[in-house]
Structure 1
């Protein structure tokens, strides 16, 4: 891999050729099928064309031998690019202007040894004509139970629909239940929505949502880090959840059981500095038990209206190009964003409590709090540190019905809420 190696000039020419680079990205995407911190590091070190050559010829660091062994001989790059092109899609790589670089910053700063699945994706396979960076400029993830109740469907539809009407992109996973309802609500108001799949973009999952996914691709985007033809596997969904969180300004959970996968998405959101919110339900509803637990354990902020959602999520969003002056929150580091997301709206938390929540050291938490204080995003009082919104604290005394989605009633009769599954 040195400059003196025979053929180095030809290799450099290949590295400068956009077509060769795209083939290299496509090839490596199929070789590792998902996040691979070691391969990302190799690409950053030697370039994508040289990394692809090294994988083919097995001139690799020891850590990459096992990860690339089973599929290094499967060079379907040209066929994969043709397949996605036939769907009206494309391959988006870090070489491209629409690569959502700032959205990936949180993932890039996660310790690779602690969370191998938390790496930045190598590429995005994309269906749809919208620009990925532009579409995620103001975006919110709406996720929840696959086996949702009538109440959950109404709540998700009301919130996602109003957010979409206000110009926010709805990001979700195209699954049954809350995911599908969130996508449909955004489409119904002419809003934008993004479906993040755990399989190739040519293989709608679930299959019954093939028409829904087609509709999403017509006006929004369908994205995946997996190349065409790849089928969904269990661990793909867990890895996919980090992308739902990363492509959004925050994660909103509408109904989640105690063991719901939505909690995994919340975990990723908190790790990369995105706020998490949850809609409460009936105390009798098992479908809302996970939401209640996340709220009670401080993992998510209780919300019941779009205004409350935006009060939590909007301080961290990237403003549109028409905004004259970016907010201080736009310039937060990953540590500052993590601490900001962990701060409560009411009450307070002390630095040692924030350490347990964010995984940061006391010194890192104190430095982040000082920066947030100077930016007008946090303040301390007798009960500890709390979050500010537009330089003001959220009132501690909520109205009695503030936890209820407008137009919805929380019933104690669980039979009136469940539609079965």
Structure 2
């Protein structure tokens, strides 16, 4: 008859588990990363009793007590100690070009010491220093099911932050995350991607090249052990790291139940300023942004200067402020796609979207997204008949 109780390690296995760690803090944290995930999905959730004990006792002492079964409610975690191979884990991490970063290391960001964050460790891939990148960083997040408008905004913000020497932090997901990373990478800017999986994996797999590019220009970060696959609770748990790494959090596009609002919730709990980009009122992919603005949980932001006004310390925001309507702003600030559209607009006569798309040999959806951004920045206006024209600058 089988028992429902977790397996108890043998005396030989407990002896080996003690020896795996000894008195080494780094090895203890590696061991705990194989046994216990933080699993905190939302701000305000209490950590598990076991995790609280680890924090209270310290990783070394807590590990040895776990091995001996001398922690409350530790039976399930103790069943895994026989499988822990610290040397093997460190080898696997090194093989993919990552390094283990713990408190006290030069790479360790001070924000991770907050009791609501407290990862056992993070694996960092890339030559840049994570702590340095995090000193001037903004978390840019949003929907995976993004629109052309949202992606254009995210790219502009990633590039704008990079222009001012600020790091773009995001999750490398499809949609807004990827667009923000691409905007920063396009101008050789600093970037940080936080993954919901082990350091040897890429998620989503379709963004492996993007994630590799982030590692070249900045760093790729995860708190999860090798072999760990992405799961829903791991997306939510990693959002706290994204929020912690930014001096502000900006939601570019989010539905009412978007996971990016979970990141904003973590930022709110950490007392980080939150910005939200408005979208068309008919577009459900921006409904979450509109709700947070309406409830005054987020500030309305439309460009990089406004984002840095939130993120930068008082008196340290960039001197130049984007002049949306001033005639002195030259068209060369537009992206190449926007300049091609702008060249087809006239001050008096309007042109419809379909004609613009045909003349540009471009998808209508892309043209709509660019026009929406140009309208927001004062480079295009649409009349009641839906015709677009140059507002006359």
- State the TM-score, normalizing by the size of structure 1: 0.67
Distance 2:65 2:293 in 1: 48
Alpha carbons 2:375, 2:381 under 8 Å: kept:
no
Equivalent in the alignment of 1:133: 131
Q: Is the 8 A contact 2:67 2:78 kept in 1?
A: no
Query: Equivalent residue for 1:87?
Result: 96
Alpha-carbon deviation of 1:243? 0.9
Structure-1 residue corresponding to 2:82: 73
Counterpart of 2:376 in 1: which secondary structure?
Answer: coil
Counterparts of 2:252 and 2:73 in 1: how far apart (Å)? 40
Match of 2:43 in 1: none
Compare CA radii of gyration and give the structure with the larger one: 2
Instruction: Tell whether 2:40 aligns with 1:29.
Output: no
2:301 pairs, out of 290, 303, 306, with 303
- 2: distance between equivalents of 1:299 and 1:210? 34
What's the CA shift for 1:76? 2.7
SS of equivalent to 1:227: coil
Q: CA deviation at 1:313?
A: 1.6
Question: Match of 2:241, SS?
Answer: helix
What does residue 50 of structure 1 align with? Answer: 61
**Kept in 1: contact 2:30–2:86 (CA 8 A):** yes
- SS of equivalent residue, structure 1 residue 195: strand
CA contact (8 A) 2:109 2:131 kept: yes
Shift in CA distance, 98/286, structure 1 to aligned 2, threshold 3 Å = same
Check 1:99–1:404 CA distance in 2 against 1; reply closer, same or farther (3 A cut).
same
Could you tell me which residue of structure 1 aligns to residue 288 of structure 2?
Answer: 290
Q: Answer yes or no: is the 8 Å Cα contact 1:250–1:275 preserved in 2.
A: yes
Partner of 1:33, secondary structure, is: coil
**Inter-partner Cα distance in structure 2 for 1:51 and 1:265:** 30
1:386-405 equivalent positions in 2, closer than 5 A: 404-405=376-377
Distance 2:220 2:245 in 1: 12
Choose which of 97, 104, 114 in structure 1 pairs with 2:112. 104
- CA deviations 1:137-162 (Å, max 9, x no partner) are 10000000101111111111111111
Instruction: Tell me: CA distance 1:181–1:317, structure 2 relative to 1, closer, same or farther (3 Å).
Output: farther
Number of the residue aligned with 2:275: 277
Return the alpha-carbon distance in structure 1 between the equivalents of residues 247 and 384 of structure 2: 33
**How many residue pairs were aligned?**
308
CA distance in 1 between counterparts of 2:383 and 2:262 reads 28
In structure 1, what is the Cα distance between the partners aligned to 2:164 and 2:226? 33
**2:349 matched residue in structure 1:** none
> Could you tell me whether the CA contact under 8 Å between 2:117 and 2:244 is conserved in 1?
no
Matches within 5 A, 1:220-299: 220-299=218-297
Q: TM-score, normalised by structure 2?
A: 0.72
Structure 2 gap ranges (5+): 1-14, 40-46, 318-372, 389-393
Q: 1:152 aligns with which of 146, 150, 160?
A: 150
- Equivalent pair of 1:154/1:408 in contact (CA under 8 Å): no
Assess if the C-alpha contact under 8 Å between 2:50 and 2:73 holds in 1.
no
Measured after TM superposition, the shift of residue 315 of structure 1 is 2.6
Distance 1:144 1:407, change over 3 A: farther
Distance 1:413 1:184, change over 3 A: farther
Distance in 2 separating the partners of 1:286 and 1:52: 48
CA deviations 1:102-122 (Å, max 9, x no partner) are: x135x41xxxxxxxxx44111
Residue 252 of structure 1: SS of its match in structure 2? strand
How far apart are the structure 2 equivalents of 1:32 and 1:38? 11
Cα distance between partner residues in 1 of 2:209 and 2:229: 18
Distance 1:185 1:126 in 2: 22
Equivalent residue for 2:175, pick from 177, 180, 187: 177
